[in-house]
C-alpha cells in the first residue's frame, strides 16, 4: 500500500524544503530541550533541600503538567487553525483566530487559577491522599505559588503557537532561552541564597513565566509579521470562530488532560510506595521527558507543516511530509534514548539521590530505552499530524481508553495487587504505548484522517 503518491508531488515546488524544515524544527528542539533541562536542574537544586522537597515538587508538578497540557492543547488548536488559514492565503482570518485564542485562554487560565487557590490543601489531599506531613507542607507552598503563574503560562503557549504557525519558531525559542536563564538564576538565588526551599523554586518559575509572556505579547503588536495581536481591550468574543478553534482544541485538551489525569492516578499509586519511590519516579519522568524532546519537537513542527499543506489543499504533500518527519522522529527517539541512558547514573550521582532511589531510576530508564524506540512514533507521533488535518476525535478516544485501561488499570493491578513495585508502573505504560501505536498506525494507513478538515 502506498503511503503517498509521488507522481502528485512537485519536488521543485514544495511548501517546505529541507532547509526550511530544519530551521522550523531546530529552534523547537532547543526550546523543548532547555525547558526539560531546566526541569532537571530544578529537581537537582530542590534535591539539596531533602527528599521531602523533591517529593513535594514531583507531586505538584504532576498537577502543573496537567495544566500545561490543557494550555498546549489550546495552543495546538490555535496553531492548526492559523496554519490552515495561512496555507490558504487568508492572513486576516488567522489574526482574528489568534485574538479569539488569546481571549479564550485568558478566561480559562484565570478560572483554573481561582479554582486551585480556593481548593488549596483540600485539593492536594483529594488527589494524593495521605502523604507525609512534611511532604504535604512543602507541596502546598509550591502549589500556591505556581498556580499564580498559570495565566502567564497559558498566554505564552498561545503566543508561541502563533509564531510557529507562521513558520517562525526562532523567536519563541529565544524568549524561552532567556526565560530559562531567569528561572535557573532565580533558583540559585532563592534556594541557595535566601534559603527559601521549594518556595524559592516556585517563585523563580513565576518570574520566568511573567517575563516570557510580557515579551512575546509586546512583539505580537508589531505590524510586519504574519499574525498580529493588539488592541486587547477591543477584542470581543466571536462564538463561531471560538467554536471552530475549540473543535480542535477541546478533543486535544481532553486527550492531553486525560493523559495527565492518568499520570496523577499513577502518581497516587506511586505515593503509596514511599518517599524513595516517589523520588525515583520523579527523576525517571524527567529522563523520559528528555529522551522524547527531539521527537516531540518534530511533532510540533509537523502540525505547522501539515496544517499549511491542508490549507493549500495539497493532501499528497501533507502525507509526504508526514512520512518524512515521522521517520526523522523515529531516528531521534533511538539516539535520544541511548544518550539519556548514558547520562542517567552520572546525573543521579551529581543530584545527590539516595543510592536505592538512583538504582530504581536506572533500571526503569534501561527498560524504557529498550521499548521506546520501537513504539513512540506510532503511539505519540501520529496524533500530531492527525490534529493538523482536523482529525482529533479518533486519537482522543483511542488515547483516553488506552490510558485508563492499560496505563492506569494495569498499573494499579500490578503495583497494588501483584506488588510488582515501581517497575509495575512502567509495564503498564509500555502496554499503553503498544496499544496506541497499533490502532493509530492502522488509522494512518486507512487515510481516513485526511477527510476531517
Say what the pLDDT of residue 231 is.
Answer: 82
Residue with the three cell numbers 504505548: 433
The mean-pLDDT minimum among 88-92, 189-193, 398-402, 429-433 falls in 88-92
C-alpha cell at 55: 517529593
Query: Is the residue at 350 inside a domain?
Result: yes
- Interval 75-88 mean pLDDT: 80
Handedness of CA 331, 337, 338, 342 (dihedral sign): positive
Q: Kindly report, residue by residue over 414-423, the tens digit of the pLDDT.
A: 888 888 888 8
Measured distance CA(228)–CA(99) in Å, rounded: 9
Query: Which of 337, 427, 319, 428 lies closest to 374, judged by CA?
Result: 337
**What is the pLDDT of the chain when averaged over all its residues?**
85
CA distances from 421 to 269, 410, 444 (A): 10, 13, 36
**Residue 437 pLDDT greater than 90, yes or no:** yes
Q: Kindly report, residue by residue over 129-188, the tens digit of the pLDDT.
A: 777 888 888 889 999 999 999 999 999 989 998 998 888 888 998 998 899 899 989 988
Query: Is the residue at 298 inside a domain?
Result: yes
Cα-trace Rg, the chain: 21
Query: Is the residue at 9 inside a domain?
Result: no
**Residue 19 pLDDT greater than 80, yes or no:** yes
Say what the pLDDT of residue 216 is.
Answer: 94
- Interval 355-372 mean pLDDT: 91
Query: Is the residue at 71 inside a domain?
Result: yes
Say what the pLDDT of residue 210 is.
Answer: 96
Calculate what percentage of the chain has a pLDDT beyond 90: 25
State the pLDDT confidence band at 452, using cuts at 50, 70 and 90.
low
Range of the domain at 221: 16-451
Query: Is the residue at 2 inside a domain?
Result: no
Query: Is the residue at 123 inside a domain?
Result: yes
Say what the pLDDT of residue 42 is.
Answer: 67
Beta strands in 278-428 (DSSP E): none
- Residue 104 in contact with residue 112, Cβ under 8 Å? no
State the pLDDT confidence band at 369, using cuts at 50, 70 and 90.
very high
Say what the pLDDT of residue 362 is.
Answer: 92
Q: Kindly report, residue by residue over 327-347, the tens digit of the pLDDT.
A: 999 999 999 999 999 999 998
Say what the pLDDT of residue 39 is.
Answer: 59
- Interval 180-204 mean pLDDT: 90
3-state secondary structure of 144: helix
Rounded to two decimals, the pTM is: 0.75
- The DSSP secondary-structure symbol of 403 reads I
The mean-pLDDT minimum among 93-102, 218-227, 244-253 falls in 244-253
Instruction: Give kind and range of the element (H or E) at residue 444.
Output: helix 422-446
Measured distance CA(159)–CA(387) in Å, rounded: 19
Query: Is the residue at 299 inside a domain?
Result: yes
State the pLDDT confidence band at 90, using cuts at 50, 70 and 90.
confident
**Residue 66 pLDDT greater than 80, yes or no:** no
Say what the pLDDT of residue 453 is.
Answer: 53
Query: Is the residue at 120 inside a domain?
Result: yes
C-alpha cell at 339: 544518550
Q: How many structural domains comprise the chain? A: 1
Measured distance CA(420)–CA(410) in Å, rounded: 11
**Residue 128 pLDDT greater than 90, yes or no:** no
The mean-pLDDT minimum among 238-242, 291-295, 378-382 falls in 238-242
**Residue 259 pLDDT greater than 80, yes or no:** no
State the pLDDT confidence band at 79, using cuts at 50, 70 and 90.
confident
CA distances from 380 to 31, 87, 394, 439, 440 (A): 19, 25, 13, 12, 9
Measured distance CA(65)–CA(51) in Å, rounded: 21
Query: Which of 68, 62, 254 lies closest to 158, judged by CA?
Result: 68
Any idea how long the chain is? 453
Amino acid at each position: 500500500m502506498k503511503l503517498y503518491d509521488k507522481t502528485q508531488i512537485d519536488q521543485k515546488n514544495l511548501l517546505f524544503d529541507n532547509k526550511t524544515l530544519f530551521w522550523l524544527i531546530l529552534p523547537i528542539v532547543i526550546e523543548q530541550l532547555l525547558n526539560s533541562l531546566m526541569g532537571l536542574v530544578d529537581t537537582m537544586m530542590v534535591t539539596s533541600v531533602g527528599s521531602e522537597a523533591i517529593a513535594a515538587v514531583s507531586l505538584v508538578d504532576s498537577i502543573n503538567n496537567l495544566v500545561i497540557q490543557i494550555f498546549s492543547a489550546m495552543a495546538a488548536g490555535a496553531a492548526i487553525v492559523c496554519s490552515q488559514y495561512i496555507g490558504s492565503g487568508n492572513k486576516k482570518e488567522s489574526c482574528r483566530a489568534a485574538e479569539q485564542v488569546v481571549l479564550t485562554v485568558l478566561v480559562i487560565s484565570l478560572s483554573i487559577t481561582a479554582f486551585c487557590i480556593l481548593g488549596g490543601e483540600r485539593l492536594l489531599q483529594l488527589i494524593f491522599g495521605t502523604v507525609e506531613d512534611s511532604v504535604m507542607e512543602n507541596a502546598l507552598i509550591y502549589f500556591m505559588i505556581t498556580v499564580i503563574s498559570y495565566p502567564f503560562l497559558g498566554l505564552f503557549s498561545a503566543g508561541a503557537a502563533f509564531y510557529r504557525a507562521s513558520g517562525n519558531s526562532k523567536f519563541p525559542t529565544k524568549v524561552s532561552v532567556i526565560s530559562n536563564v531567569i528561572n535557573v538564576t532565580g533558583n540559585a538565588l532563592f534556594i541557595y541564597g535566601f534559603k527559601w526551599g521549594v518556595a524559592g523554586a516556585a517563585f523563580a518559575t513565576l518570574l520566568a513565566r511573567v517575563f516570557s509572556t510580557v515579551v512575546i505579547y509586546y512583539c505580537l503588536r508589531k505590524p510586519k509579521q504574519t499574525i498580529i495581536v493588539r488592541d486587547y481591550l477591543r477584542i470581543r468574543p466571536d462564538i463561531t470562530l471560538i467554536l471552530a478553534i475549540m473543535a480542535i482544541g477541546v478533543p486535544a485538551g481532553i486527550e492531553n488532560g486525560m493523559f495527565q489525569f492518568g499520570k496523577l492516578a499513577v502518581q497516587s499509586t506511586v505515593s503509596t510506595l514511599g518517599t524513595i519511590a516517589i523520588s525515583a519516579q520523579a527523576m525517571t519522568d524527567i529522563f523520559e521527558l528528555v529522551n522524547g524532546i527531539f521527537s516531540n519537537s518534530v511533532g510540533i513542527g509537523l502540525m505547522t507543516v501539515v496544517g499549511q499543506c491542508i490549507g493549500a489543499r495539497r493532501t499528497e504533500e501533507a502525507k509526504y511530509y508526514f512520512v518524512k518527519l515521522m521517520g526523522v522522529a523515529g531516528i531521534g527517539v533511538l539516539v535520544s534514548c541511548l544518550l539519556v541512558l548514558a547520562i542517567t547514573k552520572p546525573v543521579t550521582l551529581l543530584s545527590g539521590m539516595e543510592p536505592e532511589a538512583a538504582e530504581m531510576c536506572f533500571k526503569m530508564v534501561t527498560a524504557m530505552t529498550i521499548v521506546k524506540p520501537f513504539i513512540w512514533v506510532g503511539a505519540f507521533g501520529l496524533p500530531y499530524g492527525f490534529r493538523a488535518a482536523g482529525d482529533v476525535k479518533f486519537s482522543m478516544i483511542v488515547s483516553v481508553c488506552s490510558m485508563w485501561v492499560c496505563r492506569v488499570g494495569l498499573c494499579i493491578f500490578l503495583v497494588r495487587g501483584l506488588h510488582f513495585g515501581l517497575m509495575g508502573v512502567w509495564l503498564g505504560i509500555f502496554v499503553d504505548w503498544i496499544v496506541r501505536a497499533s490502532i493509530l498506525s492502522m488509522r494512518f494507513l486507512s487515510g481516513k484522517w485526511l477527510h476531517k478538515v
